[in-house]
Amino acid sequence: MSDLTYLLLAIAAISIAAFIPRVIPFLLPKGRIKSRFLNSFLNYIPYSVLGAMIFPAIFFATSSLLASIAGTVVAILLAFWEKRLIIVALGSILITAIVLAIV
């Protein structure tokens, strides 16, 4: 498979996987999921997937473990204080850049 073929197929896979869960409920006859387990499961998915995507990958986001940990601590603190997303991101980037420049 050429790089371009892989690239286009990957983009197609991502787009189709984004579209399927959204479109199916709109094409079904009106009604709700009855299973309490399934509802709860789907509700917890965003949290579990975010947790799994953040850790431990965040520690290896930059070439310096120290800089990544500094950025992580700042992101967690700002997020815990419920600052806006953009503030959480900028604060974390700033500290990471500062530590990268020092070490």
Partner 1 sequence: MKKQSDFIKGVYNGIPIALGYIPLAFSFGTLAIKGGYDFWVPTLMSMLSFTGAGQMAGIQMMVQAASLISIFLVNLVINARYLVMSLSMNNKITEKMSVFKRIFISFGMTDENFTIASFYTGKLTFPFFAGLILTSYTGWILGTLVGALLMQLMPAIIQEALSITIYAMFCGLLLPSVKRSKAVAVVTAIAIAISCAFYFIPFLASLPSGINIIVPTVVAAAIGALVFPMPQEEEQTDSIKNEEAKENE
Listed in sequence order, the residues at least 6 apart from 74 whose beta carbon sits closer than 8 Å to its beta carbon are 91, 92, 94, 95, 96
Residues numbered 17-36 forming contacts with partner 1, rule: CB under 8 A:
17-28, 30-33, 36
Q: How far is the CB of 81 from partner 1 (least distance, A)?
A: 9
In the block, tokens 């070439």 appear at 63
How remote is the C-alpha of 81 from its chain's centroid? Answer: 19
Contacts of partner 1 in 69-88 (CB under 8 A): 71-72, 74-76, 78-80, 82-86, 88
- Listed in sequence order, the residues at least 6 apart from 92 whose beta carbon sits closer than 8 Å to its beta carbon are 71, 72, 74, 75, 78
Q: Does residue 11 touch partner 1 according to CB under 8 A?
A: yes
Applying CB under 8 A, does 2 fall inside the site for partner 1? no
By rule CB under 8 A, what count of residues binds partner 1?
77
- Does 15 contact partner 1 by CB under 8 A? yes
Joined together, the tokens standing for residue 7 give: 């690239």
Q: Give me the least distance between CB of 59 and partner 1, in Å please.
A: 9
